[in-house]
């Protein structure tokens, strides 16, 4: 029984990183109507920046905290630049062009990462304090994963407050519902777009920085995260942050349980869930019907 | 008119060059063209770090050979191409090296999938190829051809060596490996050999994460829930690093024994994060052989590249030196002469002992190594202590088995 609980918790912790990344993607998708393939690149760049920052700070808690601040900010700046210099220029063209553009950015960023950090895989140590594990009914559960779950919940709450209580959030939600109308009402749409894209990139960066001490950092982590993030967005519903939370948890837990029940099919579980949602509720679990 | 002018100018330049050349060098040696060695390898992709070690190893060997006057008075020249871990590029680059660059010999690529492609081209053009990283059993099995030579322990040999080297006290064994061909083969060969050397042992649990899986935690809890005596891993590179880091916080290494395929690059990447007491299986670690040629090699490699050599550099250096010895023995660059020379070669390499190729599959009698991770004060990363060297003849498939595979 404890095994099942630990399995579910590890699924939840994995889902939390996915949620942080996918919430950024879903906001960009919802407001700018851009399927941002470069989102995975933001995640990867942040992971590599985390590597550099923790190395320069000599590991330990200060390095870890510094990387959590610096890496998402670097990526947010990169996101803002991409939105203002590139995406904005083809905003009124067909969606097809935006797809190609964001895809091109993934290739350019991947080559850039190769040039700056090389092709080797890297590893970021966890701070000593988070290295160990806590005991849940006698079974160990990594304390770093507890932190991931807590940060995930904090981000979910913060995004919710931001969306409901702030002017930016209200405009943002209005833009998800009807972008044209928001423009007609005199909102500075280009500024809104840059803001949302930057926020989205920051979230991807935070996900990358948080995931860095868990796994290995290598060229190609951008691809694996982007596929899962799109699955989250589709399952949760485009533009819905709560949907992203639900979708990410569904994917995280489904996969964890899948490995337990039918290990050979575990990889398929995400896509089965994806197909089920597309067939039965195409707008996503918490999405609005267009 | 222009073309006529150019021609004349070119003619004059050639004459001048010839005159200068004749003045500068008197021996016939100076006119000898270099012996060209073609290396197609995956400089891009997940196995790129291995390819770099390989290129460095071959380069170092060639530099030493050339410094000693080359072979038959001819220098060696290395041509490197990037196959990007794509078999079709492996094919086209190798073909181009042979037909356009007129390379004399090929030295092995990186990934096994590209190795299969390169071997096929070598077969087509009847070019001698020495493999130094690819090790799918198919290369010595159904894909074997007389111009193919390998100094890499094959997948079969490694999986069997792992089963051979494990203590008999491990009865319940769990397996985790990336969901791809080599890993499925490995668990099969491992299981077959285990049934022979330790019949009471059983593989109780198998896990197949996808290659490049970022999160192994569900697999880790699942492996632990079956309470195995030992976990055998066929994870490598960034997958192994992610797994080890995540497994540490579950206390996996205190709760069960962990045995894994291990590359020097992984030891280097993990640094002090690598737990002690892991059973590691390695191809050709420099620290696996004490003294002799290996020490000289480590120093020379460090002097040239400011790095400690990887398994791949060791095998690449040996592969190139061995090929050179074959060319010397044949005293010619004729493919059949060199092939015959290699078939009868007795090469004394970095890892001690004498390397020979057996007739049935041109598999070199190379060892593999099993040890326990631990600290060595001389190295900035963890190393293997208590190293067991497992000789090829203990674990390689018999000629009958090889022939049966080819049917």
CB atoms within 10 A of CB B67: 9
Closest residue on chain A to B270 (Cα): A123
Asked if B217's CB is within 8 angstroms of A10's CB, the reply is yes
Chain A residues touching residue B210 (CB < 8 angstroms): 267
Q: Check whether residue B147 and residue B167 sit in a common domain.
A: no
Euclidean distance between CA atoms B44 and A110, whole angstroms: 12
Chain A contact probe: residue of B55, B110, B214 with most A CBs at under 10 A: B214
Is there a domain that residue B181 lies in?
Answer: yes
Whether A14 and B245 lie within 8 Å, measured CB to CB: no
| Same domain as B137, residue B37 | yes
- For the domain that residue B373 is a member of, what is the CATH number? 3.40.50.2300
Rounded to a whole number of angstroms, the distance from the CA of B379 to the nearest CA of chain A is 18
Residue B305 placed within a domain: yes
CA A203/CA A229 separation, integer angstroms = 12
CA B314 → CA A166, A219, B53, B349, B369, distances in Å?
A: 62, 26, 8, 9, 14
Instruction: Mark whether B231 and B187 lie in a shared domain.
Output: yes
Q: Using a CB-CB distance cutoff of 8 angstroms, which residues of chain A are in contact with residue B220? A: 10
Say how many C-beta atoms besides its own lie within 10 A of residue B27's C-beta: 8
Q: Report, as ranges of residue numbers, the positions in chain A whose pLDDT lies below 50.
A: none
Using CA atoms, how far apart are residues B187 and B128, in angstroms rounded to an integer?
Answer: 32
Chain A contact set for B206 (CB, 8 A): 263
Is the domain of B362 the same as that of B373? no
Note the pLDDT of residue B11: 47
B56 and B138 fall within a common domain: yes
| Residue B108 falls inside a structural domain | yes
Same domain, B168 and B268: yes
Q: Which chain A residues touch B208 with a CB distance below 8 Å?
A: 263-264
Cα B97 to Cα B240: distance, rounded to the nearest angstrom: 35
Question: For chain B, what is the total number of helices (H) and then of strands (E)?
Answer: 16, 12
Domain identity same for B127 and B185: no
Has residue B17 been placed in a domain?
no
Does B328 fall in a domain?
yes
Contact A142 B179 (CB under 8 A): no
Please tell me the total count of domains within chain B.
Answer: 2
> Chain B 78-137, CB below 8 Å of chain A: which residues?
none
Q: Which domain holds residue B300?
A: 31-153+290-366
Cα–Cα distance, B243 to B265 (Å, whole number): 15
Query: In sequence order, what are the beta bridge partners of B80?
Result: B39
- Cα–Cα distance for residue pair A6/A10, rounded to 1 Å: 6
Of A141, A143, A256, the CB nearest to B218: A256
Residues B246 and B375 in one domain: yes
Chain A residue with CA closest to B242: the answer is A215
Beta bridge partners, B35, equal B76
Domains of chain A (ranges; CATH) run: 2-280 (1.10.3470)
Q: Is residue B80 part of a domain?
A: yes
Contact B239 A216 (CB under 8 A): yes
Query: Are B249 and B387 in a shared domain?
Result: yes
pLDDT, residue A267, reads: 72
pLDDT tens for chain B, 407 residues: list them. 334 444 444 444 444 444 444 444 444 445 689 999 999 999 887 788 899 999 999 999 999 999 999 999 999 999 999 998 899 999 999 999 999 999 999 998 999 999 999 999 999 999 999 999 999 999 999 999 999 999 999 999 999 999 999 999 999 999 999 988 889 999 999 999 999 999 999 999 999 988 878 788 889 988 988 899 999 999 988 889 989 988 988 889 999 999 999 999 999 988 888 999 999 999 999 999 988 899 999 999 999 999 999 999 999 999 999 999 999 999 999 999 999 999 999 999 999 989 999 999 999 999 999 999 999 888 989 999 999 999 999 999 999 999 998 88
Look at residue B16 and tell me if it is in a domain: no
DSSP H stretches of helix in chain A: 2-32, 39-56, 60-85, 95-117, 143-165, 167-177, 179-184, 189-211, 221-236, 241-261, 266-280
Give the residue from chain A lying closest to B219, CA to CA.
A259
Residues of A with CB under 8 A from a CB of B: 3, 6-7, 10-11, 13-14, 119-123, 125-126, 131-133, 140-145, 211, 213-221, 224-225, 255-256, 258-260, 263-264, 266-267
Please give the pLDDT value at position A270. Answer: 84
Same domain, yes or no: B69 and B143: yes
CA–CA min distance B203, chain A (Å): 15
Residue B81 CA, chain-centre distance (Å), reads 17
Give the gap in angstroms from C-alpha B28 to the nearest C-alpha of chain A.
45
Tell me chain B's radius of gyration from C-alpha atoms.
Answer: 23
Q: Which of A111, A106, A117, A113 is nearest to A52 (CA)?
A: A117
Within this chain, do residues B384 and B246 fall inside the same structural domain, yes or no?
yes
B250:A142 CB<8 A: yes
Question: Measured between beta carbons, which residues in chain A are less than 8 angstroms from residue B239?
Answer: 216
Residues, chain B: 407
Complex ipTM, two decimals? 0.70
**Same domain membership, residue B378 and residue B229:** yes
Using a CB-CB cut-off of 8 Å, the residues of chain A touching B214 are 211, 214-215, 221, 224-225
Of A120, A215, A267, the CB nearest to B245: A215
Using CB atoms, pick whichever of B179, B250, B271 lies closest to residue A133. Answer: B250
Strand, helix or coil for residue B390: strand
- Burial of residue A249 (CB within 10 Å: 0-12, 13-18, 19+) is buried
Q: Which residue of B has its CA nearest to A218?
A: B238
Distance CA B381, CA A217 (A): 18
Q: Is B159 exposed, middle or buried (0-12, 13-18, 19+ CB in 10 A)?
A: buried
B76 domain residue, yes or no:
yes
Q: Which residues of A touch B310 (CB under 8 A)?
A: none
Three-state SS string over A162-209 comes to HHHHCHHHHHHHHHHHCHHHHHHCCCCHHHHHHHHHHHHHHHHHHHHH
């Amino acid at each position: 029984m404890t095994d099942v609980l630990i399995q579910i918790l590890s699924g939840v912790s994995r889902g939390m990183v996915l949620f942080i990344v996918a919430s950024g993607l879903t906001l960009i998708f919802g407001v700018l109507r851009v399927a941002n393939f470069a989102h995975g690149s933001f995640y990867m760049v942040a992971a590599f920046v985390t590597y550099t920052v923790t190395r320069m700070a000599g590991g330990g808690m200060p390095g870890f905290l510094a990387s959590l601040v610096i890496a998402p900010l670097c990526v947010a700046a990169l996101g803002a630049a991409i939105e203002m210099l590139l995406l904005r220029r083809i905003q009124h063209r067909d969606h097809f062009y935006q797809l190609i553009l964001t895809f091109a950015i993934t290739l350019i960023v991947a080559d850039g990462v190769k040039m700056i950090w090389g092709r080797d895989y890297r590893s970021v140590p966890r701070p000593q304090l988070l290295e160990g594990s806590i005991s849940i009914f006698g079974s160990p559960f990594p304390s770093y994963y507890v932190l991931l779950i807590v940060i995930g919940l904090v981000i979910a709450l913060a995004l919710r407050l931001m969306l409901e209580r702030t002017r930016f959030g209200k405009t943002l939600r209005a833009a998800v519902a009807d972008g044209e109308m928001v423009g007609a009402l005199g909102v500075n749409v280009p500024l809104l777009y840059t803001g949302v894209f930057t926020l989205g990139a920051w979230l991807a960066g935070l996900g990358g920085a948080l995931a860095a001490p868990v796994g290995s950092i290598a060229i190609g982590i951008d691809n694996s995260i982007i596929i899962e993030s799109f699955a989250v967005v589709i399952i949760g519903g485009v533009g819905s942050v709560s949907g992203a939370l639900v979708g990410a948890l569904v994917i995280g837990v489904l996969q964890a349980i899948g490995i337990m029940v039918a290990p050979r099919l575990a990889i398929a579980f995400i896509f089965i869930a994806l197909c089920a949602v597309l067939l039965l509720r195409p707008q996503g679990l918490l999405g609005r019907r267009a | 008119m222009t073309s006529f002018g150019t021609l004349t100018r070119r003619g004059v330049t050639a004459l001048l060059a010839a005159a200068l050349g004749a003045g500068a060098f008197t021996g016939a040696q100076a006119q000898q063209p270099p012996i060209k060695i073609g290396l197609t390898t995956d400089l891009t992709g997940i196995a790129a770090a291995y390819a770099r070690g390989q290129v460095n190893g071959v380069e170092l060997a060639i530099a030493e050979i050339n410094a000693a006057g080359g072979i038959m008075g001819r220098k060696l020249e290395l041509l490197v191409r990037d196959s990007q871990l794509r078999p079709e590029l492996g094919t086209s680059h190798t073909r181009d090296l042979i037909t356009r660059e007129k390379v004399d010999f090929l030295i092995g690529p990186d990934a096994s999938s590209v190795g299969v492609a390169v071997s096929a081209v070598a077969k087509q053009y009847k070019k001698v190829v020495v493999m130094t990283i690819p090790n799918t059993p198919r290369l010595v099995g159904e894909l074997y051809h007389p111009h193919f030579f390998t100094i890499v322990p094959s997948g079969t040999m490694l999986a069997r060596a792992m089963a051979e080297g494990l203590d008999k006290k491990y009865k319940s064994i769990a397996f985790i490996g990336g969901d791809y061909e080599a890993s499925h083969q490995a668990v099969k060969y491992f299981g077959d050999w285990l049934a022979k050397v330790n019949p009471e042992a059983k593989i109780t649990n198998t896990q197949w994460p996808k290659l490049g899986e970022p999160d192994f935690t569900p697999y880790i809890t699942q492996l632990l829930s079956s309470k195995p005596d030992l976990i055998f891993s066929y994870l490598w590179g960034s997958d192994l690093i992610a797994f080890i880091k995540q497994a540490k916080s579950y206390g996996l290494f205190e709760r069960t024994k962990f045995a894994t395929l291990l590359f020097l690059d992984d030891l280097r990447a993990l640094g002090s994060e690598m737990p002690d007491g892991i059973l590691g299986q390695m191809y050709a670690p420099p620290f696996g052989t004490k003294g002799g040629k290996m020490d000289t090699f480590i120093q020379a490699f460090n002097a040239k590249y400011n790095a400690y050599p990887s398994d791949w550099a060791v095998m690449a250096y040996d592969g190139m030196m061995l090929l050179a010895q074959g060319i010397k023995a044949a005293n010619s660059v004729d493919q059949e002469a060199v092939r015959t020379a290699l078939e009868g070669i007795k090469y004394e390499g970095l890892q001690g002992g004498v390397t020979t190729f057996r007739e049935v599959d041109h598999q070199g009698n190379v060892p593999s190594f099993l040890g326990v991770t631990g600290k060595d004060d001389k190295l900035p990363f963890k190393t293997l202590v208590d190293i067991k060297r497992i000789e090829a003849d203990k674990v390689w498939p018999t000629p009958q088995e090889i022939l049966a595979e080819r049917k």
